[in-house]
Every structure is written in structure tokens, then in C-alpha cells.
């Protein structure tokens, strides 16, 4: 396993910054999306080639889920049960899988969420005046039904299965790993008349059994797993073991939280409720081979706050990986 990033572009400045901080693997988010066919293979190849010139491997790309809806909505039609339009969007996803394969990119990250991520105001201020991504169910202002009709768990699973049955066979044929991120945050059943099913480990245990394939797996976000657990410090290492032993972790988001279900903040990795060394050891013991990335980083008021925050997190992850290296030097 190795430290990676899903932030930053392929500009000279960004790539130099990453290499300077010991990051040699990345996911690329910034790819031009074309409504008619998805991505330009030439652009994918050029970006991968430029990364290689700086010593980086562009080993993953992200499906632009928020841009897929042919009507301009934030949630794709296939997650709304509108399959006339949804089939067009699914075909775009399939085409982007083929394009990634042709460009020599072995993995894709995406998500299957029935509504947008939910967050509330960041308070109180964090360490050194940091701002934290925050969710407090009691403080949430959006309470009305998200859709005209409630979305039950059964309906949600039907829509997820419909997508997987059409996309995973293409990914398997193309040998492209599909890493699905949880829906953030975990929500109690019926919140805004929606039963969210991919907010935590239980849903993903069912998810990986749909369309079984070595190319069908998860973007395991340790923060999301913590947010959906009753005792994250104990449960999250076991969650890593469960999915890792089945070779279903294709990307790991290495973040920590304070709080728990329905009320949490995403904090600096060393100040949360989980022992991140224990989590890294669980990844190592499971034989995890891919990127460990910071996911989000707290904000603050200093100039270049983003670069400063991620530099800290890159160093933290690198040190954690080194700490669990075995006597033979493998991790």
C-alpha cells in the first residue's frame, strides 16, 4: 500500500508539490466530461503521461456523478428510477470504463447515492482555529421529504442492482476495478422519507455480493465507517478485516472523526476517536495493495491552507505506513 491523493490537478505546480511531499500515486478528478460520450481518451492518456514524467502513477479516475443527469439534476436518473434517461447515463458510465481501460487506468471511483451529502455548520472551532466538516442531525435545516414519493430500502436496492448489473460486467471485461464510496453521512431510516442503504458497513456487505466480480469493490472511507458505527475504535478495524480479506478494498480514505452517529466532525487524523495506527495495521494485515489517501482535510485561515493541511496529512499517512512495515520491508 502507498500514500496517494484524490486532490490536486496535473499542473506542474501541483505535481511538483505532490512529489515534494512523497506522494507518487493519484486519482484524477479533473477530466473534461462530454455529455455525448464521456471522456476523451487522448486527454486521459496525456494526463497519465504527464504524471509519469513527474514520477507519479495516475492509477485511478473519478466518474463525474454530479454531471451525469441528462436533465441537469444533482442525482442521476438511474438512482431515481427514471430508466429511460437513466439508461443513457449508465451507457455513459460504461463508456468511461472502456475509455479508462484504453488509457491504461486500472481503477475508477464512484458512488451510488439517492440524495446529496448532508452537512451542517462547522462549530465549535477546532484545533488552532480549524474548521471541520460537520454533521449534526438536530441542527439540520432540511427536513422536508426529498422526493414526491418515499424511497424505501427495497426501492433503493432495486436501483443499485439495476446499475451494477449493467456496469460491473463491462468493468470485468475491461479489467477496471470499480470502487464505490459510501453515502455520507449514515442517516437514520426515513430521514427526509429516504432509506439510505449504503451509509455503512452492513449495506456494503450486501453490496459486494451483487454481481460478484474481482473488479467490484469499495472505496472504504474510514470516516464514513466510523460515522455509522456504535464503537468505531473497535468496529472499524474489523470492518477493514472483513472487506480486506475478501480483496474488496480498492481505495482507502484515511480520516478520523470525533462524535458518532448523527453528530460528528471530521478532524485531524491524530485527534479523533479511532486509533489510526491500529487501522493502518489492519489494512496491512489484510494485504491491502492500493492507495491510502487523506480524503478531506480541515480548513483554517492561513494562506495556502489547503496545501498546508494536506502536507500534514500526507506525512501522517506516510509515517503510519512506515510504522506497520514488517521485517521484510513490505507493507
CA dihedral 277, 110, 175, 244 (to 10 degrees): 30
Residue 327, pLDDT > 60, answer no
Q: Is 280 helix (H, G, I), strand (E, B) or coil?
A: helix
Rounded Cα distance, 199 and 202, in Å: 8
Mean pLDDT of 244-272: 96
User: In this predicted structure, what is the pLDDT of residue 328?
Assistant: 59
User: In this predicted structure, what is the pLDDT of residue 252?
Assistant: 98
Rounded Cα distance, 133 and 269, in Å: 13
- 48: Cβ contacts below 8 Å, ≥ 6 apart: 58, 103, 104, 105
User: In this predicted structure, what is the pLDDT of residue 331?
Assistant: 61
Q: Is there a contact between 53 and 46 (Cβ–Cβ < 8 Å)?
A: no
User: In this predicted structure, what is the pLDDT of residue 164?
Assistant: 98
Q: Place 303 in a pLDDT band, splitting at 50, 70 and 90.
A: confident
Q: Place 125 in a pLDDT band, splitting at 50, 70 and 90.
A: confident
Q: Is 105 helix (H, G, I), strand (E, B) or coil?
A: coil
Place of cell 505532490: 18
Rounded Cα distance, 239 and 69, in Å: 32
Residue predicted with more confidence, 301 or 253: 253
Pairing of strands 263-267, 256-260: antiparallel
User: In this predicted structure, what is the pLDDT of residue 142?
Assistant: 80
Tell which CATH classification among 3.40.50.300, 3.90.1150.10, 3.20.20.150, 3.40.50.970 matches the domain 2-323: 3.20.20.150
User: In this predicted structure, what is the pLDDT of residue 329?
Assistant: 62
Q: Place 296 in a pLDDT band, splitting at 50, 70 and 90.
A: confident
Q: Place 330 in a pLDDT band, splitting at 50, 70 and 90.
A: low
Domain ranges in the chain are: 2-323
What digits encode the pLDDT tens for the residues 41-79?
999 999 999 999 999 999 999 999 999 999 999 999 999
Residue predicted with more confidence, 54 or 331: 54
Measured CA distances, 129 to 122, 124, 187, 306 (Å) = 11, 9, 28, 14
pTM for the whole structure: 0.96
Rounded Cα distance, 39 and 54, in Å: 23
Mean pLDDT (the chain) is 95
Q: Place 33 in a pLDDT band, splitting at 50, 70 and 90.
A: very high
Distance from first CA to last CA of the chain, Å, rounded? 6
The C-alpha cell of 29 is what?
478528478
Q: Is there a contact between 321 and 2 (Cβ–Cβ < 8 Å)?
A: yes
Which of 191, 194, 184, 187 lies closest to 157 in space, CA to CA? 194
What digits encode the pLDDT tens for the residues 274-287?
999 999 999 999 99
Among left, alpha and beta (phi > 0; psi -120 to 50; other), residue 105 is beta
Residue 162, pLDDT > 70, answer yes
Residue 259, pLDDT > 70, answer yes
Q: How many Cβ atoms sit within 10 Å of the Cβ of residue 130?
A: 19
Tell me the DSSP string of 174-235: HT-EEEEEPPSS---TTBTTB---SSSHHHHHHHTTSS--TTEEEEEEHHHHHHT-SSHHHH
What digits encode the pLDDT tens for the residues 226-235?
999 999 999 9
Portion of the chain with pLDDT greater than 70, in percent: 98
Q: Place 123 in a pLDDT band, splitting at 50, 70 and 90.
A: confident
Q: Place 90 in a pLDDT band, splitting at 50, 70 and 90.
A: very high
Portion of the chain with pLDDT greater than 90, in percent: 93
Amino acid at each position: 500500500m502507498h500514500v496517494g491523493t484524490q486532490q490536486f490537478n496535473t499542473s506542474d505546480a501541483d505535481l511538483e508539490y505532490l512529489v515534494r511531499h512523497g506522494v507518487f500515486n493519484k486519482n484524477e478528478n479533473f477530466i473534461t466530461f462530454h455529455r455525448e460520450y464521456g471522456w476523451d481518451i487522448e486527454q486521459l492518456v496525456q494526463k497519465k503521461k504527464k504524471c509519469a514524467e513527474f514520477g507519479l502513477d495516475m492509477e485511478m479516475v473519478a466518474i463525474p456523478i454530479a454531471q451525469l443527469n441528462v436533465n441537469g439534476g444533482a442525482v442521476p436518473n438511474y438512482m431515481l428510477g427514471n430508466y429511460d434517461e437513466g439508461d443513457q447515463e449508465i451507457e455513459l458510465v460504461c463508456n468511461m470504463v472502456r475509455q479508462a481501460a484504453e488509457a491504461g487506468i486500472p481503477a475508477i471511483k464512484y458512488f451510488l447515492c439517492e440524495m446529496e451529502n448532508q452537512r451542517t455548520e462547522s462549530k465549535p472551532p477546532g484545533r488552532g482555529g480549524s474548521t471541520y466538516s460537520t454533521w449534526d442531525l438536530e441542527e439540520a435545516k432540511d427536513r422536508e421529504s426529498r422526493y414526491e414519493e418515499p424511497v424505501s430500502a427495497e426501492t433503493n436496492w432495486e436501483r443499485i442492482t439495476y446499475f451494477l448489473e449493467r456496469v460491473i460486467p463491462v468493468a470485468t471485461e475491461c479489467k477496471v476495478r470499480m470502487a464505490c464510496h459510501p453515502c455520507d453521512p449514515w442517516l437514520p431510516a426515513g430521514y427526509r422519507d429516504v432509506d439510505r442503504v449504503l451509509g455503512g458497513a452492513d449495506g456494503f456487505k450486501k453490496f459486494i455480493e451483487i454481481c460478484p466480480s474481482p473488479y467490484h469493490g469499495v472505496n472504504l472511507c474510514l470516516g464514513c465507517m466510523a460515522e455509522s458505527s456504535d464503537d468505531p475504535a473497535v468496529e472499524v478495524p474489523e470492518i477493514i478485516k472483513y472487506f480486506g480479506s475478501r480483496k474488496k478494498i480498492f481505495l482507502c480514505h484515511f480520516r478520523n472523526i470525533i462524535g458518532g452517529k448523527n453528530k460528528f466532525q471530521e478532524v485531524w487524523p491524530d485527534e479523533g476517536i479511532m486509533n489510526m495506527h491500529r487501522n493502518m495495521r489492519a489494512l496491512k494485515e489484510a494485504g491491502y495493495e492500493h492507495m491510502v489517501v487523506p480524503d478531506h482535510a480541515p480548513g483554517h485561515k492561513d494562506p495556502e491552507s489547503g496545501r498546508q493541511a494536506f502536507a500534514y496529512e500526507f506525512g501522517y499517512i506516510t509515517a503510519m505506513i512506515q510504522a506497520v512495515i514488517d521485517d521484510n520491508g513490505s507493507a
